[in-house]
């Protein structure tokens, strides 16, 4: 078996089968600020830090089915258990949020669920003392103009889905990659930058577009646009990406000058290639849709905590209903690679009237695809459409959350640091 096939086998290793109900998981990142609007210290020191918070969360039995981690700038990430319904996800997230709030209230901190830190620059933020992130930070600073911003100053919602089989993977990934402009527009929530409104710039999307072209952006940017060969093309892509780090035999992080494929091939030839090595390689890819042994959707800004289930329901309604999946494939096959690349570029700005494929605007396509999502959710028969329908109505009435926040800030008499924690951020 070749290294290519080893990677392919790893990705498909947790496939649940076509007739098995697909489970959903989410990862939610958020910032933590003190009462003076400073970010929480990252590493342990004389005051309560993000590292202390992580230890405390991991010690609480009530939420042991979830997992927690720190992002490089001390952003706290909650990873849900795998759930069959969005109601289950919501219940799990609500439990976590209550516990988080209790700890933060005790320590004089508060959470902020937003796509980009509205107040600070990267140089204001301490970097976590972890070899992996130290190497990533150096790489991102060298490879892209906004890599430091991504590492320290962004938060997202990531949605993970079980893979049913190879055909399901290829169709789902193709659909999700085509959906990038819709997802990044509909769930934009990065209204401020260095204390100022950023107007119609889709900021977190813009940051990721300028982080590292070799491992970020959409799959179509890496030549992956044929739904019949997604998995093979993805494996080829992974193997040629420059490595940031590699694992030694005891899973210690080491700097590497090799590509991901070169490292894996050397270990394979020496008979020491392990699942952990393949996993580490796949986790050095940051495309908007990423393959691990799950399908991961990564192009959604962190939203206010009461709106986090909206993107989960939207995406689930589109990929989990066979009839809807078929309709989407029929629509997307008429989009040329040039159509898609052009539309991805337009998604850097929040202008709903700009034309995309087939002469339809962002808002036109959002209306069409959202209707399909709601139909797909109804077919699941869990009442999950409620999580998206109210959100969608608000967006059509008042625009993306980024724009709503900026409009309301202009009307406010509060300074920005007070405004972003107020009750009047959104219409």
**238-261: average pLDDT:** 97
d(CA 313, CA 310) in angstroms, rounded, equals 5
Given pLDDT bands bounded at 50, 70 and 90, which one contains residue 1?
confident
pLDDT for the residue numbered 227? 85
Structure tokens at 159: 């949605």
The DSSP code sequence of 323-372 is HHHHHHHHHHTTS-HHHHHHHHHHTTB--TTSB-GGG-BHHHHHHHHHHH
pLDDT for the residue numbered 62? 67
Structure tokens at 179: 């959906």
Residues sharing a CB contact under 8 Å with residue 425, sequence separation 6 or more, in sequence order: 304, 404, 405, 408, 409, 419
**To which H or E segment does residue 68 belong?**
strand 67-70
CATH topology of domain 23-233+285-419: Creatine Kinase; Chain A, domain 2 (3.30.590)
Report yes or no: 10 and 281 within 8 Å, Cβ to Cβ: no
Longest CA pairwise span in the chain (Å): 66
Question: How confident is the model over 258-286, as pLDDT tens digits?
Answer: 999 999 999 999 999 999 999 999 999 99
pLDDT for the residue numbered 228? 86
Residue indicated by tokens 């290639």: 273
Strand segments (E) across 139-216: 156-161, 192-193, 196-197
Structure tokens at 144: 């892209």
Q: List beta partners, residue 182.
A: none
* pTM summary value: 0.97
**198-202: average pLDDT:** 96
**Exposed/middle/buried for residue 285 (C-beta within 10 Å: 0-12, 13-18, 19+):** buried
pLDDT over 90 at 421, yes or no: yes
Report yes or no: 16 and 164 within 8 Å, Cβ to Cβ: yes
Question: How confident is the model over 38-88, as pLDDT tens digits?
Answer: 999 999 999 999 999 999 999 987 666 889 999 999 999 999 999 999 999
pLDDT over 80 at 229, yes or no: yes
Q: Are strands 295-301 and 289-291 parallel, antiparallel or unpaired?
A: antiparallel
d(CA 195, CA 417) in angstroms, rounded, equals 8
**124-148: average pLDDT:** 95
Length of the chain: 427
d(CA 214, CA 242) in angstroms, rounded, equals 8
N-terminal to C-terminal alpha carbon distance within the chain: 56
DSSP letter assigned to residue 306? G
pLDDT over 90 at 127, yes or no: yes
Three-state secondary structure of 101-138: HHHHHHHCEEEECCCECCCCCHHHCCCCCCHHHHHHHH
d(CA 372, CA 393) in angstroms, rounded, equals 15
What's phi and psi for 426, nearest 5 deg? -120, 150
pLDDT over 80 at 307, yes or no: yes
Residues sharing a CB contact under 8 Å with residue 188, sequence separation 6 or more, in sequence order: 115, 202, 203, 204, 205, 301, 350, 400, 401, 402
What does pLDDT average to over the chain? 96
Percent of the chain with pLDDT strictly greater than 90: 96
**194-205: average pLDDT:** 96
pLDDT over 70 at 18, yes or no: yes
What's phi and psi for 244, nearest 5 deg? -95, -40
**Exposed/middle/buried for residue 421 (C-beta within 10 Å: 0-12, 13-18, 19+):** middle
Report yes or no: 13 and 163 within 8 Å, Cβ to Cβ: no
**Exposed/middle/buried for residue 334 (C-beta within 10 Å: 0-12, 13-18, 19+):** exposed
Percent of the chain with pLDDT strictly greater than 70: 99
């Amino acid at each position: 078996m070749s290294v290519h096939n080893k990677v392919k086998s790893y990705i498909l290793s947790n496939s649940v089968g076509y007739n098995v109900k697909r489970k959903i998981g989410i990862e939610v990142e958020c910032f933590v600020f003190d009462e003076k609007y400073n970010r929480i210290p990252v590493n342990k020191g004389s005051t309560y830090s993000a590292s202390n918070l992580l230890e405390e969360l991991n010690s609480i039995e009530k939420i042991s089915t979830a997992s927690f981690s720190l992002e490089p700038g001390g952003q706290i990430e909650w990873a849900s258990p795998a759930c069959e319904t969005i109601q289950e996800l919501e219940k799990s997230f609500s439990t976590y949020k209550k516990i988080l709030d209790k700890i933060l209230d005790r320590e004089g901190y508060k959470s902020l669920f937003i796509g980009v830190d509205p107040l600070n620059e990267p140089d204001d933020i301490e970097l976590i003392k972890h070899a992996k992130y130290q190497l990533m930070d150096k790489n991102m600073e060298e490879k892209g103009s906004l890599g430091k911003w991504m590492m320290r100053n962004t938060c997202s919602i990531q949605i993970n889905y079980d893979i049913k089989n190879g055909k399901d993977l290829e169709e789902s990934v193709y659909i999700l990659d085509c959906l990038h402009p819709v997802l990044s527009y509909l769930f934009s929530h990065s209204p401020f930058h260095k204390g100022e409104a950023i107007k119609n710039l889709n900021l977190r999307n813009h940051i990721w577009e300028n982080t590292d072209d070799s491992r970020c952006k959409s799959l179509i940017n890496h030549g992956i646009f044929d739904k019949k060969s997604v998995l093979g093309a993805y494996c080829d892509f992974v193997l040629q990406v420059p490595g940031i780090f590699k694992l030694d035999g005891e899973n210690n992080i080491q700097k590497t000058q090799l590509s991901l494929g070169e490292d894996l091939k050397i270990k394979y030839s020496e008979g020491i290639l392990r699942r952990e090595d393949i996993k580490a390689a796949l986790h050095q890819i940051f495309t908007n849709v990423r393959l691990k042994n799950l399908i991961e959707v990564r192009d959604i800004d962190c939203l206010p905590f009461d709106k986090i289930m909206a993107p989960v329901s939207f995406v689930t309604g589109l990929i989990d209903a066979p009839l809807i999946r078929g309709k989407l494939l029929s629509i997307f096959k008429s989009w040329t690679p040039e159509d898609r690349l052009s539309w991805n570029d337009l998604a850097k700005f929040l202008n709903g009237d700009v034309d995309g494929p087939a002469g339809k605007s962002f808002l036109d396509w959002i209306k069409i695809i959202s209707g399909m999502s709601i139909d797909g959710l109804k077919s699941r028969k869990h009442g999950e459409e409620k999580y998206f329908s109210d959100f969608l109505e608000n967006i059509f009435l008042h625009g993306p959350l980024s724009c709503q926040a900026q409009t309301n800030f202009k009307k406010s008499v509060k300074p920005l640091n007070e405004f972003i924690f107020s009750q009047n951020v959104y219409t």
